[in-house]
Structures are given as C-alpha cells and as structure tokens.
Structure 1
Amino acid sequence: MYDAVIIGGGPGGYVCAIKLAQLGKKVALVEKEALGGTCTNKGCIPTKAMLTASHLMSEIKEKAAKYGLKVSSVKFDVPSMMKHVEKSVMMSRKGIEYLMKKNNVDVFMGTGVIEDKNTVVVKETGERLETKNLVLAHGSVPSVFPPFDVDGIWTSDDVFKLGEFPKSLLIVGGGVIGVEFATFFSSFEVNVTIVEVADHILPYEDEDVAEEVKKSLKRKGVKILEKTKVTALKKTEDGFEATLETGETLKAEKVLLAVGRKPNIPEDVKALGVKVERGVVTDKRMKTNVEGVYAIGDIRGEIMLAHVAMYEGIVAAKNIVGIEEEMDYSAVPNIIFSSPEVASTGVKEKDVNPENVVIFKFPVSANGRARTMLENIGFVKVIADKKSGVILGMSIVSPSATDMIMEGVIAVKYRMKAKDLEEAIHPHPTLTETVLGALEGVSGKPIHL
C-alpha cells in the first residue's frame, strides 16, 4: 500500500513525488513516456537549448563587427544543433531519474489507468498499485482544431524532429510559443510570418511590452499580422496555403500551430467523478471534490507553467501529509525567451485603475551595462499602489529579464514597498539598475533619467 500514487512524471508529478518522499511517505510515480514530461522532453528544455544557439547566432551577426571582432563567416549545422538539444534533454531526464532513485520513489514506466481512487493499474504490465492518496498530474497536449487538422502541420511537439530548416514558416498564434519559435527561426534567415487573432502578439502582456518584442522581431525580418484569423488551410505541392478572413492567402513551406495547449483528461479521470470545467477543478490545497484525490499542473487548465506545477506539487504533498498549506498565485513569474527577453509578475497595467496606482518605466537604453552590450530595446515597468507604495506588479523587457524578474516576484509576494527595494544597493554596472531606475521613478525622483 502506497501513501500516494502520482500519475504523470512531469514537473508537477516528479516534484510532488520527491517532496512526499522527503516527508517520509511511500510513493509511486507512473509515467507513460519519459520522466520530465512535456517541459523536459518537448518544451522548456529543448526550446531553450535551441534559443541559446539562435541568440548566439544573432549576437555574432549583429554585434561582432561593432565589438571589433572580425568574423569572416558564421555557418550553422542543423543536425549538430539538434544533437545539442537532445543532449540537454537527456541530461535533464537522467537527472530526474537519479532523483527518483535517491529519494526511493518507485517509478513505473507505462500508462497509469485508474480503477478507483485507491487503485491504479499499469496498463502495459498489469501491475496493480494500491494507494491511500491519488495525485493527477497528466499534463497537457497541443490544441489542434479545424481548419488546422491537416496532415504535416507542426505543433510545438514536432519542431524538435527537424533535420533542416524550412525556407519559410507560418506561425499561427503569437503567444509565448509562437514568439519564441519566431525568434529562433528568424535568427537563421527563415522567412517567418506570425498570424495572431488578438489585438497584439503576447496578448496576456501589456501592449507596450508586446510593442518592444514586435520591434525586435521586425528587425529580424518577421512579418506580424495582428487582429487576423486563418479561416482555411490546405496542403500544396511545395508546402501549405493559408486563407485569412480578409480573403488574402499566405504560402509557406511549413506551418506551426502555436495556439496553446489543453489539459490531458482521459476517460478514467472523468470516471472518478472529479469536477471538470476547463480542467480538473481543485481548491488552493490542490484537493479535488473527491476525497483523497489531488490534481496539479496543466491538467487543471489554469496557469499552465512548469514552475507553477512544481509548486502545486509541493503544496499537494504537504497537504497529503497533514501540513495545511494553500497556493498563492499573486506573484507568479511569466517569462518569454524572446530577444530581448520578457518577464512579468503581479498585476498588469491593462488591469489596474490608473487613478489608484503609480506607474513608471525606465528604459534599457539609459542603462550603462546595456550600452556596453549594444542593447537599446526594452524597459522595466513598476506598478505601485499610490497610497501605500506597495509594489503590485513588474514587467521587464530586457536581456536577462527572465532572471531579473525575481526581484519583482519577491517584492510582490511579500508586499514590499518601492522605497524598501530602492534602498537596497544595486550593483553597478548591471542590468538590475534598470529595476532601480524604475523604483526611483515611482517615488518621482529617478536619478539617471
């Protein structure tokens, strides 16, 4: 008898398993493909391995001569690039396998089929796992729907199998996935077009954030069509032809559907009797409406981010062992590995009443370290409560934004005042001084602007 059986070995599942084991519980984890889930094998890790290569390529092409470096030619080899991606994935996966053994988690490779809330059967082997608690961590799958259910179309799961770059690429969806892949492919002179149905790309970010990214993508030759919908798609002899609602047609060798992902909810999960809306519904302790059954990560259909799934796994584990803890989603970091990078946390400018807040943006172009890096696109924006000075949100468009956002995450989570953060000495010359400049601006006295 296990204290808990977890179905799904992605970020939420494997972290939950480790935390439960650390808390002294007997744990089993069932995974049907590979440990690490989508993030390790088809998402976070492989895309960032690819983007690291593309960022370096862009740096060399765009800045080497200005740095005084004479580079006669820069060539790329797609198979070698994919080997780097595969190695990055394998090392991450092996690391998780090691952690499972280190923490004495019993791992069953196969499809976990739920008989009831206390019994899981591994489909391929017939092994029966009896458990006191069940954690649903089934993850998500790419959203594919008409007219995009055409043979040969790419989703984010398929890109890592490429042997060569296409000459042209149409990306349907200008969210995080679409923008990251546009950044990657355009760095290698692929003719990229993004079609986004919302008012602007990166629709969950503020418009000024999207504008900075758009500016950078256009410099790379990316064509961006916003407020535009693809109504038909067909395969042709040399690729695909997409029809827009305006009647205009676009041709491309490849099409990438990047309109997000949907929760993976198999029939056995539904048969449990758990409440399902967009995803499996839980409270903030990750409990479903069925006693002893928890759900974490993308299967919930809420904030579908690996780092959120990880912490939900920790919260679920604590509640399983009797430590009462609730999830706090007030300071979730959202990060995009575009060029420049984008990161945000807390409230957005589009969601606040301007009369109740103070908002200040400090431009990257005014930062000394950025000038040494030949960077001039981007800013740090801080949103603070007008009465108390408490930081409510932060958005960053900058090199290393995905690292710098932690200053904002901590400030928002612990309700720090802009003055408190401003009084912390920021090292010089660093990009973090753009954060300092924005904080100074909130108080109305920016020194370097």
Structure 2
Amino acid sequence: MDNYDIAVIGGGPAGYVAAIKGAQLGGHVVLFEKDTVGGTCLNRGCIPTKTFLKGAEIIHTIQMAGNYGIENDSSFSVDMGKAVKNKNHIVKQLTSGVAALLKSNAVDICYGEAVLVDEHTIECGNKLYKAENILLCGGSKTNKIPIPGIENANVLTSDEILDITELPKRLAIIGGGVIGCEIGAAFAYYRSKVTMIEAEERLLPFMDKDISAALEETFGKLGIEIHTSTKVESISAEKGCRVICNGGTTVEADKVLISIGRKPDLNCLGILKNRIQQERGFVAADEYMRTNIPNIYAAGDITGKSMLAHSAFKMGETAARNAMGGNEKCLLKTVPSCVYTLPECASVGLTEQKVKEIYGSEEIAIGKFPFRANGRSLASGTPEGFVKVIVHKQYNEILGVHIFGFSAAEMISEATSLMCAEIPADEAAEIIHAHPTFSEAFMEACADALNVSVHLPKKK
C-alpha cells in the first residue's frame, strides 16, 4: 500500500493548487481525479464560456468597425462546430499544462473515482492508499430543480450547452446568475433569440443593484427578453420546448438552459459521509480549512465558502500549508467577483444595500464615475458603464467597489489590492494613474466619494 503525506481528492482549482503547494513544501503527494485535471473551471466553466464570449466580443467589434472608418457590411454567421472545436483546443492546452505542472512537482496522479475508507485511507480503482492528511477538493456539479418536463432532451445543463454544435434559434435560460448571464450574452450576440427567467427580482441578485439594473438595460438593447420574479412550473415538449411559468408566462424555445447554481459533489466522502460535519449541504471547514476530523481538510466549491476558482486557489493553498504543519487562515473578505458579459460586471467588498444595513445611510459616502467621461473608454467605443465606490465617512475606508464596463474584470484587481492593504479612499484618489486608461475611472470614483473629483460637475 502506498503511503503519502498528503492525498488530494479532486484535480480542480483547489485540488491541483493544493497538490503542487504540498509538494513544494516537501510533501509526498498523490492527487486523485475522476475525469480530467482542471475541474469545472477549465473543462466545463470559466474557460469554455470565455471562448464563446470572446466570439461575442469579436462580433461586437465587427459591428462597431464602421465608426472607425473601416468599411464592412457587418454580416456574419456562427459555426458552432468550429466554436466548440476552438473551445476544446484551448481547454486541452490548459488541462495539459496543469498535468505537466503536477508532474514537474513530482505529484502522483491517480485517475478514477476516489472515496474515503477511513480517516487515513482512500480507495481508488480497487486499490487502497494511505495518507497522513487528506484534502477534500471534490468540487461541485450542476444543480437541477424537480419540475415536470426537465428530463426533455432539449433541456441542457451548463455542461451540455458548451458542446452543442448547432446554434439554437430560440434559447430559454432558467436562472439569471453568472452562468445564465454569460451564456445569454454570448448567444444573443450569436443571434439566438434569448429569453431569461429569474425567480428573484433582478438578474445577478448577489451583486450591487446598480450593476443589475445596468446589465438588464444592456440585455434589453441586445434583444434579450427578461422575466424576473418568475418561477418555472413545468416544461412541455410542444414546439421544441415550452417553459410554463407562474402568472401565465410561457416561453417557447428550441433549447432550454438550466443554470440555477451548483451543488457540492460529496461522493468523495465515502463511508465517512455521516461523520464529516456538513452545513447547508456543504462540507464544513474552518478558517484553516480543517474539517471536524483533524487530519482531513476541505477546499473549494465543496465547502460552499466562495464558489469561485480564485477562491479555490487560495483555499487549496491554505489547506496544503496547514497539512504540512502550518497554521494559516484563509481570509475571504476581499474576494472579487466577475461576470464576463459585454460589458463586464465586477465587484469586491460589500454592496450598497449591505453597507447601509450595517452602518446606516448617514455613515457612508458613494462615489460614481461614468465611463462616458473617461477618455480611453470613448476612444475605444465602449462608453457604457461606471465605477462605484462605497466609503465609510469617518475613516475613508473603502467598503465596496462595483464596476460595470468593458474592462471591469481587469480593473477590479486594483480595488481588491488597495482594500486588502487597507488603503483609504483619500489616498487611492491621489495615486497617479496613466492617462488615458480605463483605470482612471476608479481613481475618479474614489475622489467623487470625497466630493473632490475634478472631472465631474461639482455636486450641489
């Protein structure tokens, strides 16, 4: 029987980072993966959707070309077979790269379904493996709601829609979260007729209300039909698919995407499923990423702490450090969230609503700078959106930053860095930014929160 310092179950963002970090710290590490290393992010999530969205961005550029004196007829067609082939090529490059990184760090990789047998033993492929410490990084899987008709062959999960080779003329999306909005944006640019159905009162309900409102306005201009505060009651097979909702709303579609979030994949727990503590259906882990069993750690989506790949990276790294004798906390207070629509949405910290609940309206100041007042945005033909900064008046502490714009996902890193370093808004407003750049808008929003922005009209 093989013996290891660390055994990692799951080769997604949390798992492969944990395995490499454990090996870097001198550990003898084995990684178990039932499919392909890279997890949901590389294989069925973040990266595949970005390839489709890049296609949408290219279409957007084609449509704008005439404004720059580039004559074209703006006509195009989308070959989904080629789009999927390109996606698969990029995914393979990245997953092969992860496998190479694991190999270069002398991490043993075992392919197959791995389950816990006891606190120190894992079974995979009818073979037992012993480890001093075990890291549970089983990730998550698509979630389905128990509604009549969901078994229809035209009802797809986010995994399946990324492999369709024919563009649907009509696409209904159930769920207005990250996955739904990103797929909706891409297919709307591809010229599918997209309809979105969201049970909450707005799209992206976890983000700041101003971002939701701006995205809904943009989607409306793209021709996306939006039904919020709407619940699906059933799906019939009439005319491809007919989605029947409360209030008499019906949506006819060729394909239906179910994108109502993800749930943890707990198969790796094996016979310890009832011994390992769970909260809300996720594996409970403390700030050190330890479960209630001292030598077993958990990281990534399986914990439900923050179901983002970059959060999983940090959780996996922390778990590995502590498994190798460290005593580090994984602090997730300032984790940025990004939605790669066109324009993009990005946030870090608290929303305006949450800040007001905690501190009250009188204790905060809000700065906002529109991209239409930003030179680089205008020159680039992307004037849509804004940067919004929420500041605590007494200390000038930046409590939240929310960006809606074509460079939002890149810009949010500056705000995240400054918030992590506890740099106040008055100092952030004094940092010299290159001109012209999109990032100047963040500096100006900080200044606006203090009522000293020189590129906005004076507040009355």
Q: Normalised by the shorter chain, which TM-score bucket?
A: over 0.9
* CA distance in 2 between partners of 1:202 and 1:358 (Å): 24
* CA distance in 2 between partners of 1:74 and 1:65 (Å): 15
When normalised by structure 2's length, the TM-score is 0.95
Question: Is residue 2:349 matched to residue 1:342?
Answer: no
Question: Is residue 2:290 matched to residue 1:287?
Answer: yes
* Match in the other structure for 1:165: 167
* CA distance in 1 between partners of 2:136 and 2:198 (Å): 33
* Match in the other structure for 2:71: 70
SS in 2 for 1:3: strand
Contact 1:330-1:412 at 8 Å conserved across structures: no
Give the counterpart letter for 1:139 in structure 2: G
Give the counterpart letter for 1:383 in structure 2: I
2:11 is aligned, of 9, 12, 27, to: 9
* CA distance in 2 between partners of 1:393 and 1:145 (Å): 33
Cα–Cα, structure 1 residues 271 and 75, in superposed 2: closer, same or farther, change >3 Å?
closer
Cα–Cα, structure 1 residues 272 and 317, in superposed 2: closer, same or farther, change >3 Å?
farther
* Match in the other structure for 2:440: 433
SS in 2 for 1:2: strand
* Match in the other structure for 1:363: 370
Contact 2:367-2:450 at 8 Å conserved across structures: no
2:178 is aligned, of 176, 179, 182, to: 176
1:446 is aligned, of 424, 442, 453, to: 453
* Match in the other structure for 2:110: 108
* Match in the other structure for 1:378: 385
Cα shift at 1:233: 1.2
* CA distance in 2 between partners of 1:208 and 1:301 (Å): 26
Task: Render the CA deviation track for 1:130-185: whole Å, top value 9, x for unaligned.
Answer: 10001111111111121163232111010121111000010001111110011000
Cα shift at 1:277: 1.8
* Match in the other structure for 1:54: 56
* CA distance in 2 between partners of 1:377 and 1:225 (Å): 23
* CA distance in 1 between partners of 2:214 and 2:272 (Å): 43
Contact 1:282-1:294 at 8 Å conserved across structures: yes
Give the counterpart letter for 1:328 in structure 2: L
Give the counterpart letter for 1:358 in structure 2: A
* Match in the other structure for 2:300: 297
Higher mean C-alpha displacement, 369-378 vs 95-104: 369-378
Cα shift at 1:270: 4.4
Contact 1:150-1:235 at 8 Å conserved across structures: no
Give the counterpart letter for 2:348 in structure 1: T
Alignment of 1:46-445 (within 5 A): 46-61=48-63, 63-72=64-73, 73-123=75-125, 126-147=126-147, 149-152=150-153, 153-236=155-238, 238-266=239-267, 268=270, 270-271=272-273, 273-278=275-280, 279-353=282-356, 354-445=361-452
Cα–Cα, structure 1 residues 262 and 269, in superposed 2: closer, same or farther, change >3 Å?
farther
Cα shift at 1:425: 0.6
* CA distance in 2 between partners of 1:132 and 1:97 (Å): 24
Cα shift at 1:74: 2.6
Contact 2:116-2:272 at 8 Å conserved across structures: no
Structure 1 regions of 5+ residues with no counterpart? none
Give the counterpart letter for 2:205 in structure 1: P
Task: Render the CA deviation track for 1:63-112: whole Å, top value 9, x for unaligned.
Answer: 11111111233333221111110111000000001001100000001111
Cα shift at 1:269: 6.0
% identical equivalent positions: 37
Task: Render the CA deviation track for 1:365-411: whole Å, top value 9, x for unaligned.
Answer: 11011111222221000111110111111000011110100111112
* CA distance in 2 between partners of 1:150 and 1:235 (Å): 10
* CA distance in 2 between partners of 1:391 and 1:250 (Å): 43
SS in 1 for 2:159: coil
Cα shift at 1:285: 0.3
Task: Tell me how many residue pairs correspond in the alignment.
Answer: 445
* CA distance in 2 between partners of 1:196 and 1:356 (Å): 33
Task: Render the CA deviation track for 1:298-357: whole Å, top value 9, x for unaligned.
Answer: 111221111101100011011111221101111000000001001000111010122221
